[in-house]
Structure 1
Amino acid sequence: MQTAKKPFSYYLLAGFFGLFVLFLYGSMFAVFILSLQGPEGSLTFPMKGFSFYWLGQVFQQQRVGNFVDAFWRSLFLGLLVSIITVTISVMSGLAFRDRFKGSTALFYLAISSLIVPSILISLGIGIVFSLLDLSNDWYTSALGGHLTWSLPFAFLIMLGIFGRFNPAYEEAARDLGASEMTTFWQVVFPLIASSVIGVGLLGFTLSYDEFTRTSLISGETNTLPLEIFGMTTNVTSPALYALGTLTTLFSFGLIAISIFAIQLLSDRQTKPKQ
């Protein structure tokens, strides 16, 4: 059987898609390659040797700043943002399943921070915490700034999830005598668990990479994005590229763990009980 010949437009669009992928990931692969240079490596091509020297240098004290301490700050803050984002978004999604007085105004208020320029939000949070004499408590102010970014997205996602949720499962559980709490944990939560993991990963990612909303509220304590930005003016070695490689691998690791957890939950739901 002779296959139909593909039109010229197919090859044109395929070529365009290839260029698009190259544009998205070409710079990332360039960073990966340049981070694997020898001790005499520089910031540009051609490469000078091949080794893992600069990957190890990331964990050493730099001339100015410290990658390791900044990473742990960003990791702790990201985990905190992720937990709070999941908790509040799930509760909000449950609340907005039914219409209540003022729900429309509350909805637009909840997503308004996506419209306001992020630099203004961070400036406002910084002023408020300064007036409350909490300017030294950078975790609290940074947490507030990051939640104004992660919560609206998570809230919108949860609205979509619960909008498609079939209430018949809950009604059946209540008919069998289950309480509201039991119904949620034994029926509702297992069905939305994969979405909850995705929302948690989203909240962590938005916090871990956030720069603008942190710049005016972190004080003298830098998160990893701020530390990288501050060191671009004085670190002229492939250590910056090595950091990019390691953080990218870390991000892919989180995604892999999340996919594994989602698959595990899916298998448990589909596996017949003995």
Structure 2
Amino acid sequence: MRRPPAFWVLSGFFALFVLFLYGPVITIVVLSFQGPSGGLTFPMQGMSLHWFGRLWEGVGVVDIWAAFGRSFRLGLVVMVLTVLVSLAAGYAFRRRFPGSGLVFYAAVASLIVPSIVVSLGIAVMFRLLDLGVTSVGEALGIEWFAESFQTTAGIYTSGLGAHLTWTLPFGLLIMFAVFNRFDGRFEEAARDLGATPWQTFRHVVLPIVAPSLIGIGLFGFTLSWDEAARSSQALGGDQNTLPLELTGLTTTVTNPEIYALGSLTTGVSFAVILSALLTIRALRHRAAALRAKG
């Protein structure tokens, strides 16, 4: 069957879109495999793993592996909290309650506010909290506390809050859509068979929404892993995450070592995405097998 001209026009447009979307990533990955004398642009000067070896040894005065660990651990915490809060909120919003509309719009409002404004707001809030803690310490006469206290801001306080303002709205919107299409007859059948509310949730609701929860976890980790703008004012010093360190290195590192680091972080993101897709596929195969047996 002969393709109409519109098909080729749209196919070409789509190919350009994919190239625009993934071209920069492919370029960074390719340039990270340059030889020892390679630079930041084409043409390539040989091919080797030299810059990955340099990356393993460390990047100047920056402890890049410590930042890697902080970002990875923070991403896991953000992922777990995003999944739990989104599931609980989705379950709660299945029934209307007073103020539900206000709660919903307040939850997703951070998607509209510019990221740097959110970061500045969190920084100011924690500075005020620091002043309050210091004042309480001085008022109670705890001198050692007032002298040793530095800040309440940190990777799992201000940093965690900044990342959750970015990941939670996505998780909430996904769960609201999932439960909006959820067939309540499954729960009614479970209750008719004598299941308790917990058994209904554990054996009926959770298996059905599990693929969506894995998707939310994927969103939570990858959005946290790549987040820089909302962390820029909420973190700092020896608490910087990997994206913040990477942003700082772009002004000081002038060799493909920065590309090797970019390739590594991109590889972690793709590994998480692949793991999530394989897990979702396994759950679907398991569900299909159970239906076949039943």
TM class by shorter chain equals over 0.9
Query: For residue 195 of structure 1, what is the amino acid of its counterpart?
Result: S
- 2:156 is paired with a residue whose SS is helix
Cα deviation, residue 52, structure 1: 1.0
Match of 2:42 in 1: 45
Cα deviation, residue 242, structure 1: 0.9
Match of 2:194 in 1: 177
Percent sequence identity is: 52
TM-score normalised according to structure 1 size = 0.95
Provide the rounded CA distance (Å) in 1 between the counterparts of 2:24 and 2:263: 12
- 1:18 is paired with a residue whose SS is helix
15-24 vs 151-160, which moves further? 15-24
Give me the CA root mean square deviation. Answer: 1.4
- Contact 1:111-1:152 at 8 Å conserved across structures: yes
Q: Figure out how many residues of one structure are paired with residues of the other and give that number.
A: 271
2:228 equivalent to 1:227: no
Query: For residue 262 of structure 2, what is the amino acid of its counterpart?
Result: G
Cα deviation, residue 136, structure 1: 4.4
Query: For residue 119 of structure 2, what is the amino acid of its counterpart?
Result: S
Cα deviation, residue 190, structure 1: 0.5
2:252 equivalent to 1:255: no
- Contact 1:138-1:219 at 8 Å conserved across structures: no
Counterparts of residues 192-207 of structure 1 (less than 5 Å): 192-207=209-224
Match of 1:100 in 2: 97
Counterparts of residues 56-67 of structure 1 (less than 5 Å): 56-67=53-64
- Contact 2:153-2:234 at 8 Å conserved across structures: no
Counterparts of residues 110-149 of structure 1 (less than 5 Å): 110-133=107-130, 134-149=151-166
Cα deviation, residue 87, structure 1: 0.3
Query: For residue 62 of structure 1, what is the amino acid of its counterpart?
Result: V
Provide the rounded CA distance (Å) in 2 between the counterparts of 1:226 and 1:218: 9
Provide the rounded CA distance (Å) in 2 between the counterparts of 1:101 and 1:202: 30
Cα deviation, residue 7, structure 1: 2.5
Cα deviation, residue 254, structure 1: 1.0
Provide the rounded CA distance (Å) in 1 between the counterparts of 2:121 and 2:21: 34
TM-score normalised according to structure 2 size = 0.89
Query: For residue 195 of structure 2, what is the amino acid of its counterpart?
Result: A
- 1:51 is paired with a residue whose SS is coil
- Contact 1:64-1:231 at 8 Å conserved across structures: no
Match of 1:268 in 2: 286
Provide the rounded CA distance (Å) in 1 between the counterparts of 2:38 and 2:107: 49
Query: For residue 181 of structure 1, what is the amino acid of its counterpart?
Result: W
For residues 70-94 of structure 1, what are the alpha-carbon distances to aligned partners after superposition, in whole Å with 9 as ceiling and x for unaligned?
Answer: 1111111111001000000000000
- Give unpaired runs (5+ residues) of structure 2: 131-150
Query: For residue 90 of structure 1, what is the amino acid of its counterpart?
Result: L
Query: For residue 223 of structure 1, what is the amino acid of its counterpart?
Result: T
For residues 85-115 of structure 1, what are the alpha-carbon distances to aligned partners after superposition, in whole Å with 9 as ceiling and x for unaligned?
Answer: 0000000000000111111111111111112
Cα deviation, residue 64, structure 1: 3.1
Which residue, 1, 13, 17 being the options, matches 1:16? 13
- Contact 2:64-2:245 at 8 Å conserved across structures: yes
- 2:157 is paired with a residue whose SS is helix
Match of 2:136 in 1: none
